[in-house]
Structure 1
Amino acid sequence: MEIFAINFFDRLDDFTCKFLLSQVSNAKRERLLKFYNWEDLQRGLLADLLVRKALIEKVNVSNNEIHFSVNEYGKPYCSFLKNFHFNVSHSGSWVVCAIDSNPIGIDIERISQIDLDISKNYFSKKEHENLLLSNNPFDYFFTLWSLKESYIKFIGKGLSHPLDSFSIVFSNNSKINIEVNAKILENTFFKQYDVDKVYKMAVCCSHPDMPEKPVVYNISDLVDFFSLQEKLKLT
C-alpha cells in the first residue's frame, strides 16, 4: 500500500492548469471545466493525476492507456487491472490518494464548526453519545466521520450503506474497530494520519500493513512528472 497527498495553496496559473488538464481524459476534462469554483476543479484534477502518476510508476503503463470505470455505487476502478485498487478524497486544499493490491478506502475532512445535531442522522446511538461526552466535539466528530467514510469507501457501496448502521469503536489498545449488531467485524483495519492540524484523515483496508505516513507532493512535482511523460512519447 502507498498513500499520496498534495496540498494546493493557491489557484493554478493558466498555463499550468491547461497543461495538467491535458493529461486527463477528454471526458474528465469536460466534467472538470463545468465546475463553477476553481477549487473544485483543482481538487478533481489533482485527484485524477495522483492516480495516473501511481499507475504509470507502479504498473508501467502509459498515460494514454489509462481509463477508469465506476461500479454500480459510483466507486471508480481500473477495469484493465485486477490487482490495482485505489481511492481518492479531497477537502479544503488537500487531495489524497491510496493504492493497494486489495480494496481500500481513504477520507480526509477539514475540521469546521458545524451543527453537531446532524450526528443524530449519520452516527449510531453509541457514537452520538460518545460525541456528546467529548471534550473536543468538533475534533471528535470529524475523527468519526473520516473513519466511517473510509470504511464506506473501502467496501465500495457509497452512501447506499447507511452511516448509522455501524459504529466506530476505539479499543483500549488503540485499535479501531467496526461494530455491527454488537459484533466486531474481522479483517477490517484502520489507520489515521496527521497531515495537517485542522484536518482528519483515515484509511481503511483488509490488512494492517499500512505506511507510517503519506508521500507528500507539490504542484511542481506533478508538472515535472507529466512533462517527462510528454517527452518520453517523442522518443
Structure 2
Amino acid sequence: MRYLRFKEGEIDIDLIGLKFNSLSDDVIKQLIEFIPLEEKAKILKVRKRKDLQNSLIGKLMVRTIISYECKIPFDQTCILHTEYGRPILKLDNPPDFNVSHSENWVLVGFSHTGRIGVDIELIREIDPQTYPLYLNKREIDYVKETDSPSISNELWSIKESLIKLLGCGLSYAPDKMVIDINLYRRGEIKIENFISSNFEFHLSKALPGYIMCVCKDKSFKTPLNIREMKQSNFVNTFLEWMTHNDSNTQIMPNIKNWTTLV
C-alpha cells in the first residue's frame, strides 16, 4: 500500500493506494462478511475475479478510513449513492472521497475540504480507433504527434478524474471536455470549455507503469510523504482487528499505523 498526503493549509488530502495479488477463496469469503448486504450482492455479481477483489478491497478501505476519520463504528458507516452512482457519506459536513482501480491497484482519495475525483490507469497501448470516444481532434493530433502510449492514457485520466469529481457519469461526453494542449505542453492542466476555474489537477506517475490523476475543486500541493503497506498487512490486520473488537460499537484504528514510511 502506498499512502500519499497532500496538504492544503491545515487541511489534508489523503490518497491511499494498495497493490494486491490474488486473494484466496477463503479470504474473500471472510472479508465479504464485513460488507453491507446490498453492497455484498452487487460485488457477488461481478464476474471477473480481479474486478471483484478490487471492489471488495476498495469498499473495506473506504469504510476503515471513514470509521477512524469520522469517529464512528465500522458497521455504522453509511454510504449513499447519487443517481449516477457517485458515493457520498450520510453525515453532517462529511469528508469527500472517491475510489478507482486498475489491474492490481486500488486507489482511494479523501478530502476534508471540497470535492475530489481520483483515477488510476495502467499505461497501455490504446486502439486509435477509440480516440474519438474521449478525445477531440486537437487532442488526437497531439497524441499522434508525441507518439507516446502514455499521453492518451494521461488525457483520459484527467477527464475521468473530473467526471468522477462531478459525479455525472458519462452524461457529460469526455470528448466535449477540451484540454488546453498549449498549456499541457508546459505541464499545466486546464479544460478550456468547462467552468473549471476552481478545479485543479495533479497528474502523477509515482506508481511504476501507471498514470494517476487527482482532481480537486480547491487548490492543493504536491505529495509530502509516501507510506507503503503490503496486501497481507492490510488483510491480516483488518481481520485480526475484527476478530478481537466489536465493529458495531468501536471505531477502527488509524490506517496509517498499518503503513511504513518509504
TM-score of the pair, normalised by structure 2: 0.81
* 1:83-94 matched pairs, under 5 angstroms: 83-94=94-105
Q: Secondary structure at the match of 1:202?
A: strand
CA shift at 1:173, angstroms? 5.2
Give 1:232's match in structure 2, choosing from 236, 242, 245: 245
The farther-off stretch of 167-176 and 71-80 is 167-176
1:60: which partner in 2? Answer: 71
**2:234 matches 1:222:** yes
Give 1:198's match in structure 2, choosing from 199, 209, 219: 209
The whole-number CA distance in structure 1 between the counterparts of 2:96 and 2:139 is: 30
CA shift at 1:49, angstroms? 1.2
CA shift at 1:231, angstroms? 1.9
2:17: which partner in 1? Answer: 5
**2:139 matches 1:127:** yes
2:35: which partner in 1? Answer: 24
Count of aligned positions: 231
The whole-number CA distance in structure 2 between the counterparts of 1:48 and 1:73 is: 18
Give 2:170's match in structure 1, choosing from 156, 159, 181: 159
CA shift at 1:191, angstroms? 0.5
Q: Secondary structure at the match of 1:190?
A: strand
The farther-off stretch of 224-233 and 108-117 is 224-233
CA shift at 1:193, angstroms? 2.3
1:179: which partner in 2? Answer: 192
What amino acid sits opposite 2:160 in the alignment? E
CA shift at 1:113, angstroms? 2.0
The farther-off stretch of 209-218 and 94-103 is 209-218
**2:117 matches 1:105:** yes
What amino acid sits opposite 2:233 in the alignment? D
Percent identical across equivalent pairs? 28
1:2-39 deviation line (CA, Å, top 9, x unaligned): 00111112x21233222211221112122212222211
Q: Secondary structure at the match of 2:38?
A: helix
The whole-number CA distance in structure 2 between the counterparts of 1:211 and 1:217 is: 21
CA shift at 1:230, angstroms? 4.1
What value does the CA root-mean-square deviation take over the aligned residues? 2.1
**2:42 matches 1:34:** no
8 Å contact 1:2–1:210 — kept in the other structure?
no
1:54-101 deviation line (CA, Å, top 9, x unaligned): 101211111110121111221111123433111000111111010112
TM-score of the pair, normalised by structure 1: 0.89
1:151-187 deviation line (CA, Å, top 9, x unaligned): 1111111110110122223526522112117xx7311
What amino acid sits opposite 1:78 in the alignment? L
Q: Secondary structure at the match of 1:178?
A: coil
The whole-number CA distance in structure 2 between the counterparts of 1:156 and 1:210 is: 23
Structure 2, unmatched stretches of 5+, are 1-12, 251-262
8 Å contact 2:17–2:105 — kept in the other structure?
yes
Structure 1, unmatched stretches of 5+, are none
What amino acid sits opposite 1:83 in the alignment? P
1:117-163 deviation line (CA, Å, top 9, x unaligned): 21122112221121121131x21000111111001111111110110
CA shift at 1:211, angstroms? 5.1
The whole-number CA distance in structure 2 between the counterparts of 1:23 and 1:95 is: 18
Higher relative contact order (CA 8 A, sep 6+): 2
8 Å contact 1:147–1:190 — kept in the other structure?
yes
